[in-house]
Amino acid sequence: MLTFLLILVILIGNLVTRGVMRYPFTEKQISSLLDEERCKSPDIVVGLQWGDEGKGKITNALADDYQWIVRYQGGSNAGHTVYIDGEKFVTHSIPTGILNPNCKVVITHGCVVNIPEIIEEVKLLEKNGISFENRLYLSENAHLITPEHLKEDKSNQVKFGSTGKGIGPAYRDKIYRAGLRVKDYPQGIDEDKIIVTDTRKLLRDAIYKGDRVLFEGAQAVMLDIEMGTYPHVTSSPCIASYAPAGSGLPLSFFKYSSVVGVAKAYTTRIGTGPFPSEIKNKRIAKNIQFTGKEYGATTGRLRKVGWLDIPQLKYACEVNGVSSIALTKLDIFSEVDYEIKIATEYKVNGKWTTDYCDEPESIRYESFSAWPEITETDWDGLPDNLKKYVDFIEDSINVEISMLGTGQNRNQLLYL
């Protein structure tokens, strides 16, 4: 009789708990949620060169399919420029998803924040008609950039050509366990507009609920503290695999994530450090800088320009696990009067290779002819020379190119 009662209690207990899922979910439960598409893996947009590839534009174009856009590293050193109907918007600390009216945006603990600067950014965007009603969430654990950090970074700016935004000193203090966090911020933050909260829980619940989340990377792999051209890098990890750690979401959530890597049709770099495929011809470099508006959105500095670089891009795709590439600024080579080049191989220790290194002995290039102005909006109608250029890149790195940027406006984007 006693055994029978015991079995009955266990059976009823099982029935009660089976239907109810409690945090933390088990690996199996997460998997079944992902498979049922109730709980979706977040996707990630990352830069594949030295930053300024047009991540803002790509994020903005993709964002309508997501409820949450998340910054997981860096700070106001970023400058994301987006043109909507000819109007220019620049964001620094705030994710560009703020420009998509249906998105909520999150700045996680992986970021460093300069509060007065974020308040200014909010004001400026509001002036341009952007609403901040229940839309901007800031992690209480994000580290603060203090006036001392700013002073120090500005006086030391020459060393790595930093943006002078206090990023390095703020991350240094974080790592040295001497940092201050948003929860330590002395003056009040207008919580009507900047909602300070536990963004880990916020995103966890959003994903459990089935909301779609898009992580928006800043800077890029070659500026990544771990994987970039150290020490000429920024002070945070910029690659896709930092999205889980920088937000506190478990790896199991990322089972079906797509990583959209953004690359320009050429390369640019601000600041100091290795830049193997830099264009030595001053006339060509100037032409690209001018037509491509290659000066920093944050600092106004002129960017150095280089040819698209296969060993570099291959490295970037490997490190980020890129699912597909958005190739931007193809219009910059429309109707140019010079040959366009792509770096295809590096000579290292006397041998030719497609593996990236910071200082190859020499570089092999392939030449391409320019194409006419791009007016068509589907692949078949595109100029043959442009198609050759895109196919060559795709074949060389064996990663699908899924979007082409053909002009600065948000609608000048071709989906392949």
**Residues marked as catalytic:** 52, 80
The verdict on 161 binding ligand IMP (CB under 6 A) reads yes
Element (H, E) at 108: none
Q: Is 46 helix (H, G, I), strand (E, B) or coil?
A: strand
Residue nearest to ligand IMP (CB): 271
Least separation in angstroms between CB 178 and ligand IMP: 18
Q: Which of 43, 52, 53, 294 binds Mg ion (CB under 5 A)?
A: 52
- In this structure, are strands 362-368 and 401-405 parallel, antiparallel, or unpaired? unpaired
Stretch that binds ligand IMP, among 11-19, 160-168, 181-189, 367-375 (CB under 6 A): 160-168
Q: Per-residue x/- mask for ligand IMP, residues 111 to 150, rule CB under 6 A?
A: ----------------------------------------
Which 210-239 positions form the footprint of Mg ion (CB under 5 A)?
none
Size of the chain, expressed as the number of residues it contains: 416
Q: Which does 308 bind (CB under 5 to 8 A by kind): Mg ion, ligand IMP, none?
A: none
DSSP string, 238-302: -STTHHHHHHT--GGGGTT--EEEEEESEEEE-SSS--TTB---HHHHHHHHHHTT-B-TTT-PB
How would you classify residue 248: left for phi > 0, otherwise alpha for psi between -120 and 50, otherwise beta? left
The verdict on 74 binding Mg ion (CB under 5 A) reads no
Close Cβ partners of 375 (under 8 Å, ≥ 6 residues apart):
none
Q: Which of 114, 234, 241, 406 binds ligand IMP (CB under 6 A)?
A: 234
The verdict on 168 binding ligand IMP (CB under 6 A) reads yes
Which 364-383 positions form the footprint of Mg ion (CB under 5 A)?
none
Q: Is 196 helix (H, G, I), strand (E, B) or coil?
A: strand
| CB-nearer residue toward ligand IMP: 218 or 326 | 218
Distance CA 86, CA 97 (A): 18
Stretch that binds Mg ion, among 34-42, 52-60, 145-153, 317-325 (CB under 5 A): 52-60
Q: Is 306 helix (H, G, I), strand (E, B) or coil?
A: strand
- How many CA atoms lie less than 13 Å away from 33 in the CB half-sphere? 20
Q: Which of 249, 270, 305, 308 binds ligand IMP (CB under 6 A)?
A: 270
Stretch that binds ligand IMP, among 162-170, 207-215, 280-288, 395-403 (CB under 6 A): 162-170
Q: Which of 59, 162, 199, 334 binds ligand IMP (CB under 6 A)?
A: 162
Which 28-87 positions form the footprint of ligand IMP (CB under 6 A)?
51-52, 77-79
| Structure tokens, 344 | 């295809």
Least separation in angstroms between CB 309 and ligand IMP: 16
Task: Name the residue among 339, 341, 323, 353 with its Cα closest to residue 393.
Answer: 341
Ramachandran angles phi, psi of 195, nearest 5° = -90, 110
Residues in contact with ligand IMP by CB under 6 A are: 51-52, 77-79, 160-163, 165, 167-168, 218-219, 223, 234-235, 270-271
